[in-house]
Structure 1
Amino acid sequence: MITLSLCLIVKNEEKVLKNCLQSVYDIVNEIIIVDTGSIDGTINIAKEFTDKIYNFKWIDDFSAARNYSFSKATSDYIFWLDADDILKEEDRMKLKLLKENLDFSCDAVSMIYNYAFNEVGKPTLTFRRNRIVKREKSFRWIGFIHEYIAVEGKIFESDISVSHMRTHSSSDRNINIFRNKIKEGYILNSRDTYYYGKELYYNNLYDDAVDVLNKVINMDGWYEEKIQALICIADIYLYRKLYGKSREVCYKTFEFDTPRAEVLYRMALSYQEEERYLQAISWYEVITHIEKPKSDYGFIYDEYWTWLPHLQLCVCYYKVNQIEKSFKHNELAYKFNPFNKSILDNFEFFKSLGISSNL
């Protein structure tokens, strides 16, 4: 059986750290906590689980802090989490089995990251990340923000899920880190540029976001980030009711991959907001017939592939007086998301029309 070190970097995580550590403390062989300047009860909570607590002066560089945490590990393999991540019971059991049975020839293990959830706890955004690495390989973190581990060799794609239980409110921390780096003369690569554009978007600096995200399209970088940059720009144009421009941006994503539900949904929505319901219907219907990407290394928003297009088809078919089809699509939406308030409200509306469901 392999041994496993858990490494975390933390700062003011008293609200979430205990839940994180309780979900894995009895599986790992050691816990390494690197604190970057907490002024709350984070350290006291960490002491309940480990005495391997280290201070690291914050230098606006997440990779530097994570690499320092890895340098303190002594087990065969290193497992990393953020303080607001947890393993649910099913995934705890899977991790125990992985630890017991992992082939030592493996250099890294990837896991599914459930990053966002709907009102009933079902994941709405998932992607895959490398979570466990062989210590002797000395893999390094790269990037001062939105960092990643540069791994190579034999990678095992596990079915273990890490659940992100985000509690942080929005702040300007990340955008300030980018701005400081730019002032220092740091040249942003494609990945940095993408995430800088996203931070501008999150902070409602839409003109700057469009300018920065457009740069991503012509840089050497991951096609998934190019697609997501275009989706973000399309959302900005939708918000500004520039529907034609939003569709033009959506079409550009087809240069990088086959049509995605996330993209086609925005195209359909642009027509719907223009009250061009037949065009909207045609694009929503396409979504219901395309196949979700088999790779989960990209950013997959499950709601766009399941219930959301059916919910909008319910609306659009009603607008063109095709009541039977409208009702059918509300039923299909319900099968994917039986607790959604809009879907349930639609059933009540149809009931007022004398139409009831057998579901």
Structure 2
Amino acid sequence: SMDYCLWLDADDVLLEADRAAFLTLKETLDPAVSVVMAPYHTGFDDSGRVTFSYYRERLIKNRAGMRWEGAVHEAVAPAGQILYGDFAVTHRKTRPGDPDRNLRIYEAQLAAGKTLDPRQQFYYGRELYYHQRYEEALAVLEDFLSEGRGWLENNIDACCLCAYCQDALGRDEAALASLFRTFAYDRPRAEVCCEAGRWFLARERYSQAAYWYALALTCPRDDRRGGFVSPDCYGYLPCIQLCVCYSRLGDQERAESFNELAAAYKPDSPAVLHNREWFRSLASA
């Protein structure tokens, strides 16, 4: 009955600062705005810092023709004038859900002869990956990519999922090729650079790993593009991994400097504190 509606999951909350920002938005919102996008914080480290977030349509104008779409990971396609809000919704899951629910829904739809749209096809492939059905996930995700109808951010994530599947199947070169495939869609994301760095680091190719982690630090973070964002990839993670790389390469001075850069992002990080003790032991040896 009101001009706008707000959606929340049952385990979503607005923290105190976000509640205040939301109330301010309500008081100042231009009625010409159709959709307010807001960050959705869904992953956290042990200290409560956000490790995974993305923008979602959060405040939606009623009677403007917008509808929920999809049987799983439902979404409203924004239309009209869009505003990016500065309040966030925090997802605080208090107990585990049914891990098979989404996959059951997709397989029931397919069994009934339904054709999945590109967005649902992407998420179906992701569910197959989560269930360690890697060959099936690859087939679905490759079909999704080859059809060329997916959203840019989903295309990039699909390439990464293909890389994870290939890695799980022991196909090292194919995994790396899938990561590099993301560059055909857009400039490098820090998340992808960190995955490339991890690939080389796992194979003790430290110079190449350092190249990709250093590149991650140059990637601009743009949450408003709408894709999944791992904030650690835009600071802490590349720095702490560059510390590892340069230490393994024998450049302890440079390694220590990157550890201190990592500390600027997460001063209480166990890895940072462990590394400090390590460098102290080297200095006193």
Range into which the TM-score falls when normalised by the shorter chain: over 0.9
C-alpha distance in 1 between matches for 2:218 and 2:151: 26
Q: Secondary structure at the match of 2:224?
A: coil
> Quick one: percent identity of the two aligned structures?
35
Deviations 1:295-326 (A, max 9, x none): 34111111111111111111111111111111
2:117 matched residue in structure 1:
189
1:130 matched residue in structure 2:
57
Alpha-carbon shift at residue 294 of structure 1 (Å): 5.9
Contact 2:41 2:54 in 1 (8 A): yes
Alpha-carbon shift at residue 150 of structure 1 (Å): 2.6
> How many positions carry a matched residue from both structures?
282
C-alpha distance in 1 between matches for 2:250 and 2:208: 15
Alpha-carbon shift at residue 269 of structure 1 (Å): 1.4
Pick from 167, 176, 182 the counterpart of residue 94 of structure 2: 167
Does residue 1:214 correspond to 2:142, yes or no? yes
Contact 1:238 1:270 in 2 (8 A): no
Deviations 1:200-256 (A, max 9, x none): 111121221121111221221101001001111212333444332111111110111
- Superposed counterparts of 1:67-86, under 5 Å: 74-86=1-13
C-alpha distance in 2 between matches for 1:303 and 1:311: 10
Alpha-carbon shift at residue 138 of structure 1 (Å): 4.2
Contact 2:54 2:223 in 1 (8 A): no
Does residue 1:203 correspond to 2:131, yes or no? yes
C-alpha distance in 1 between matches for 2:271 and 2:130: 26
Q: CA RMSD in A?
A: 1.6
- Superposed counterparts of 1:237-316, under 5 Å: 237-293=166-222, 295-316=224-245
Q: Secondary structure at the match of 2:221?
A: coil
Residue 230 of structure 2 aligns with an amino acid whose one-letter code is Y
- Kindly indicate whether structure 1 or structure 2 has the higher relative contact order, using CA contacts under 8 Å at least 6 residues apart: 2
C-alpha distance in 2 between matches for 1:211 and 1:339: 42
Alpha-carbon shift at residue 86 of structure 1 (Å): 0.4
Residue 214 of structure 1 aligns with an amino acid whose one-letter code is E
Contact 1:116 1:124 in 2 (8 A): yes
Contact 1:85 1:163 in 2 (8 A): yes
Larger Rg computed on CA atoms: 1
CA distance 1:162–1:296, change in 2 (3 Å): farther
Alpha-carbon shift at residue 177 of structure 1 (Å): 0.6
C-alpha distance in 1 between matches for 2:255 and 2:153: 34
Pick from 218, 227, 230 the counterpart of residue 156 of structure 2: 227
TM-score (norm 2): 0.94
CA distance 1:276–1:151, change in 2 (3 Å): closer
Does residue 1:344 correspond to 2:273, yes or no? yes
**Structure 1 regions of 5+ residues with no counterpart?**
1-73
**Structure 2 regions of 5+ residues with no counterpart?**
none
CA distance 1:293–1:155, change in 2 (3 Å): closer
Contact 1:237 1:243 in 2 (8 A): yes
TM-score (norm 1): 0.75
Residue 82 of structure 2 aligns with an amino acid whose one-letter code is I
Q: Larger % of helix: which? A: 2
C-alpha distance in 2 between matches for 1:229 and 1:156: 28
